[in-house]
Chain A
Amino acid sequence: MKTGLFIISFLLLTVAAFSQKYFTKNGTVSFQAGTALEDIDATNKSAASVFDAATGQIEFAVLIRGFELRRALMQEHFNENYMESNKYPKATFKGKISNLQSISFQKPGSYPATVSGVLEIHGVKKQVTANGTLQVSGTSVQALAKFPVIINDYNIAIPGIVRDKISQTAVVTVNCTYTPLH
């Protein structure tokens, strides 16, 4: 009986320790898509993200209208013409940390991480893989990553007149500080 109780409480404790989820609602996601002719960069400071330290499942979501660009006209074209943010208000990523076994969420440090999954932008889903870093500290986990996104993959039409100003590949940067979800 006692052993049974012990095993059950042990299991419950390990389950509790292993189902550790981390989340943020104020992550930063930005991209650079400029060329030598024009600087184009945009930042979104309210990305929502959650990951499960036990399974490696990780998800991100951003509102397209939350990207801030340098000029009013750029902002308008980004929303109305390219991203069609009324029709596709969000971009999401759902995937998995593939090298979970080499990351310890109990031991502070900086761990390289690889994430693979499905990125959905402008209503188009694509399989992507990105490398980044997870910085584990006492109370939080910071995720840093940088990866290329080929604009053409997501059915985003760039008119000929601005083709020299907009890069064919946007470089996306992620900086999220997660806290444990209780």
Chain B
Amino acid sequence: MKRRKIILLLAIIAIAGVLYGLYWYYKQPQDIRSAPPQLESTAARIIADFNRDEQVATKKYVDKVILINGKVADIKVESNGTATVFLDGNDPLASVTCSFYNDQAGSLKTVKPGAMIKIKGVCTGKLMDVVFNKCSIVP
């Protein structure tokens, strides 16, 4: 009787372990559209931080969900469905590139260069620009 209980318990643990493993294995990446921002900043501040010390800025921003305030410099929606907003970084050489979820392209139709905007996304680092992906507009 006792032995049976132990076997049953072990089986439950094993099944729970497998389910837990499968859960992690199939887990989707976080949906940034509904994720709370970890930090709020401005495009100019982000560019200035990366210009001052890229390593420190990388620690501060990269892989984090950031709410960015900035002025729209340009908008690009390409034929393959990608949608990107460039924010003025108050620097002639660098701006902030915000690559949107493809299904958010429609929300950019009414956005015009020069407008102030709030965008949420994940910082991926700096090339010429500081780059964010998984972006969406925050009303």
Q: A residues engaging B (CB < 8 A)?
A: 25-26, 28, 44-46, 48, 61-63, 65-66, 68-73, 75, 89-90, 175, 177
Nearest-neighbour CB distance to chain B for A18, whole angstroms, equals 24
In B112-133, the 8 Å CB interface with A consists of: 124-129, 131, 133
With a CB–CB cut-off of 8 A, which chain A residues contact B131? 46, 63, 66
With a CB–CB cut-off of 8 A, which chain B residues contact A72? 24, 27-30
Asked whether B127 lies within 8 Å of A63 as measured between CB atoms, the reply is yes
Nearest-neighbour CB distance to chain B for A146, whole angstroms, equals 14
Asked whether A45 lies within 8 Å of B28 as measured between CB atoms, the reply is no
Say yes or no: is B137 at the interface (Cβ < 8 Å to chain A): no
Interface string of B51-95 (1 = CB under 8 A from A): 000000010001100000000000010111010101000000000
Among B24, B86, B125, B131, the one with the most A-chain Cβ atoms within 10 Å of its Cβ is B131
A61 to B52, CA, bound (A): 22
The closest CB in chain B to the CB of A50 belongs to B128
Q: Range of interface residues on chain B?
A: 20 to 34
Which 5 residue pairs of A and B lie closest in terms of their CB atoms, listed nearest first? A26-B84, A66-B124, A65-B124, A45-B99, A72-B27
Asked whether A25 lies within 8 Å of B129 as measured between CB atoms, the reply is yes
The closest CB in chain B to the CB of A47 belongs to B127
The closest CB in chain A to the CB of B125 belongs to A63
Asked whether B80 lies within 8 Å of A46 as measured between CB atoms, the reply is no
Q: A26-B78, A61-B128 are in contact. List 19 more A-B contacts (CB 8 A).
A: A25-B86, A26-B76, A28-B80, A44-B133, A45-B82, A46-B124, A46-B127, A46-B129, A46-B131, A62-B127, A65-B62, A65-B124, A65-B125, A66-B99, A66-B131, A71-B26, A71-B27, A72-B24, A175-B80
Interface string of B9-25 (1 = CB under 8 A from A): 00000000000000011
With a CB–CB cut-off of 8 A, which chain A residues contact B127? 25, 46, 48, 61-63, 90
A45 to B99, CA, bound (A): 7
The closest CB in chain A to the CB of B27 belongs to A72
Nearest-neighbour CB distance to chain B for A141, whole angstroms, equals 13
Say yes or no: is B136 at the interface (Cβ < 8 Å to chain A): no
Which residue of the partner chain, among A25, A62, A71, A175, contacts B29 with CB atoms under 8 Å? A71
With a CB–CB cut-off of 8 A, which chain A residues contact B80? 28, 175
Asked whether B133 lies within 8 Å of A48 as measured between CB atoms, the reply is no
A69 to B26, CA, bound (A): 12
Among A46, A68, A75, A175, the one with the most B-chain Cβ atoms within 10 Å of its Cβ is A46
